[in-house]
Structure 1
């Protein structure tokens, strides 16, 4: 099946600044695709080129197999939801949702029917008569999406639409957005700097850095099998050590850290040799904690230390361990509560498998 969206060698320059550098990707019909990256990486520039608000310096944009480079923004089969929702406060909800349909010349009866259908789909039936300022933040978000969806775009673009919401509402809207995407069966292209948003909602994610895609894959791919050091450090919480390679055994490497520890991890990315600068990333949940070193004998990496902090946050609770008197290591606590009685300064032992360490050539090499 032809993808709903294809970007081919998309490039954008602003004078001497290369904002987007030869980016290519496609988005399957009916899927949720996110572009994740820090501020200034170029993700909004890509979105604005797809919408037609910016002209690419080079490359092509195809929607359902047809180039739209010569198509003005108001004629493209896309619509866009912005962070600031731009609902019309002087109009009621029905008039906000039906605004685009009226501009397209649709009859009143058909508009009313489509608006009611949209309200049903977003879970807000019967509120068409209400004013915008009577709605909660989450309800406004759903109305903004409905206003776009009644126009039946092939692709809906969402530019950090949850950024202005408070934390609890943002968490709830992650689930609601995914449900809305399934309800409308429309292709969503979503940009965000929030890794949690991308991981929760997306079928596929592109991690962007300095104008280029570092990796494109599922959330599981990015989290467990990062292909670059940037992805390993940007997606999810992680422990990170710098050092030099002391031994190479196939894809398993042994690294001497700057603080003097010897750690083992698996190579990712380009080949590494003895003496090369490298870095190892280890997820806090991959590390096990024990009262005695003997309990961790089966792990490649074993360190003794003392508890420096206890960070209780329910299921995400963790401790920080001063490892070997030099590095602070984050360790997720088991939900069993076995170590709930630990106190600052308590001696502990931590360990993890070499296969859980992602080792990359250091950018300083």
Structure 2
């Protein structure tokens, strides 16, 4: 069995009476892209700081390539870190920025020059060594910050929301760039973010964190299509949610009567739900199909008719909001790209349907 580059076991951090990280365990295989995704205050930055050595765990162990680093100071750990604001030195040119850590290690100048040149080639910016930081674009600065870390050949690179300060278009571009850079260096990346799109696009494995614990860990596709908790279903991607009471259960299939009176069919996917349980059903907007007539959606388990209340144009991700004839909750539905529904406007009558298997059901949580 291949030894993981990073293994955290029963990792816990307490600040007085507050437990910021609560008994978290995970392993990161060599050369993989691992992301911790969660809302602000969930504990993900605390985990990052413990791995880097800036915080000591209250309990648990951190091992890098099989060796515990609890007694190793931050500057001696085989990790490096890219921060959100990059922390490039404006008084130095790019080559000096990248070579800063090598100079601190006392490497001879010819070796530093060679290593800096090599890493500039690998990030696709071979001719910018003499340029100043302020002359670079946001994306180039991002690559230089990574190069400055990678020239030190860390076993693990930690990235603390490094795209957070970029504008939306550059952020979208850098998601692809970061994934390509990680593959080019074949180094283990541990990335923390509150942005689900960043985590889903770039990662081999995503851990969804909430209130100090990992709710679910796995491939992005599994988290999106088969969430294991209500938090993951609501936090990862967009979902419609109905709350109501379970009227009947037949194997994994169940029937729920929503608080507004809709009869909905969903799946409990092995979760313990029984008659009379208060539960939530989550359905992705893209799992719901639009129809012109009732016959267009007649083959679905769930079928509703209603009226368009809003058009949410966003290119390929355009949606409509519709209010069913029965029930009060607006339903978000993905707009097909075929153009056949381009005529829709507020007040248009529509019909929607979806399979019961697309309805993920969970016991309702308080609040």
TM-score, normalised by the number of residues in structure 1:
0.99
1:160 paired residue number: 161
Report the Cα offset of residue 235 of structure 1. Answer: 0.3
1:34 paired residue number: 35
Contact in 2 for aligned 1:280/1:358 (Cα 8 Å): yes
Report the Cα offset of residue 269 of structure 1. Answer: 6.2
**How far apart in 2 are the matches of 1:343 and 1:76?**
59
2:340 paired residue number: 338
The Cα offsets for residues 174-213 of structure 1, whole Å up to 9 and x where unpaired, read as 0000000001110000000000000000000000000000
**How far apart in 2 are the matches of 1:129 and 1:271?**
63
Q: After the TM superposition, which of the residue ranges 117-126 and 213-222 deviates more from structure 2?
A: 117-126
Contact in 2 for aligned 1:43/1:191 (Cα 8 Å): yes
1:315 paired residue number: 316
Report the Cα offset of residue 297 of structure 1. Answer: 1.4
Q: How large is the Cα RMSD of the aligned pairs? A: 0.9
Report the Cα offset of residue 295 of structure 1. Answer: 1.7
Report the Cα offset of residue 270 of structure 1. Answer: 3.3
Aligned residues: 365
Report the Cα offset of residue 324 of structure 1. Answer: 2.5
Contact in 2 for aligned 1:81/1:158 (Cα 8 Å): yes
Contact in 2 for aligned 1:238/1:284 (Cα 8 Å): yes
1:350 aligns with 2:358: no
TM-score, normalised by the number of residues in structure 2:
0.98
Contact in 2 for aligned 1:228/1:269 (Cα 8 Å): no
> Residue 322 of structure 1: SS of its match in structure 2?
strand
Contact in 1 for aligned 2:52/2:79 (Cα 8 Å): yes
Contact in 2 for aligned 1:269/1:361 (Cα 8 Å): no
**How far apart in 2 are the matches of 1:192 and 1:341?**
38
1:189 aligns with 2:190: yes
1:225 aligns with 2:217: no
> Residue 316 of structure 1: SS of its match in structure 2?
coil
> Residue 363 of structure 1: SS of its match in structure 2?
coil
**How far apart in 2 are the matches of 1:269 and 1:184?**
41
Report the Cα offset of residue 17 of structure 1. Answer: 0.2
Runs of 4+ in 1 over 6 A off after TM superposition: none
**How far apart in 1 are the matches of 2:279 and 2:205?**
29
2:208 paired residue number: 207
**How far apart in 2 are the matches of 1:269 and 1:18?**
31
**How far apart in 2 are the matches of 1:295 and 1:84?**
51
Contact in 2 for aligned 1:81/1:144 (Cα 8 Å): yes
Contact in 1 for aligned 2:14/2:58 (Cα 8 Å): yes
The 5-angstrom pairing of residues 32-71 of structure 1 reads 32-71=33-72
The 5-angstrom pairing of residues 215-254 of structure 1 reads 215-254=216-255
Report the Cα offset of residue 312 of structure 1. Answer: 1.6
Contact in 2 for aligned 1:269/1:360 (Cα 8 Å): no
Structure 1 pair 107/269, CA: closer, same or farther in 2 (3 Å)?
farther
Report the Cα offset of residue 167 of structure 1. Answer: 0.4
The 5-angstrom pairing of residues 15-30 of structure 1 reads 15-30=16-31
What residue ranges of structure 2 are gaps of 5+ in the alignment? none
**How far apart in 1 are the matches of 2:72 and 2:269?**
42
**How far apart in 1 are the matches of 2:349 and 2:86?**
52
Report the Cα offset of residue 46 of structure 1. Answer: 0.2
> Residue 330 of structure 2: SS of its match in structure 1?
strand
**How far apart in 1 are the matches of 2:127 and 2:223?**
42
Q: After the TM superposition, which of the residue ranges 349-358 and 309-318 deviates more from structure 2?
A: 309-318
Contact in 2 for aligned 1:203/1:218 (Cα 8 Å): yes
**How far apart in 2 are the matches of 1:91 and 1:257?**
62
The Cα offsets for residues 262-283 of structure 1, whole Å up to 9 and x where unpaired, read as 1011104631111111000000
**How far apart in 2 are the matches of 1:27 and 1:323?**
46
Contact in 2 for aligned 1:239/1:330 (Cα 8 Å): yes
1:126 paired residue number: 127
Contact in 2 for aligned 1:33/1:190 (Cα 8 Å): yes
**How far apart in 2 are the matches of 1:342 and 1:157?**
47
> Residue 314 of structure 1: SS of its match in structure 2?
coil
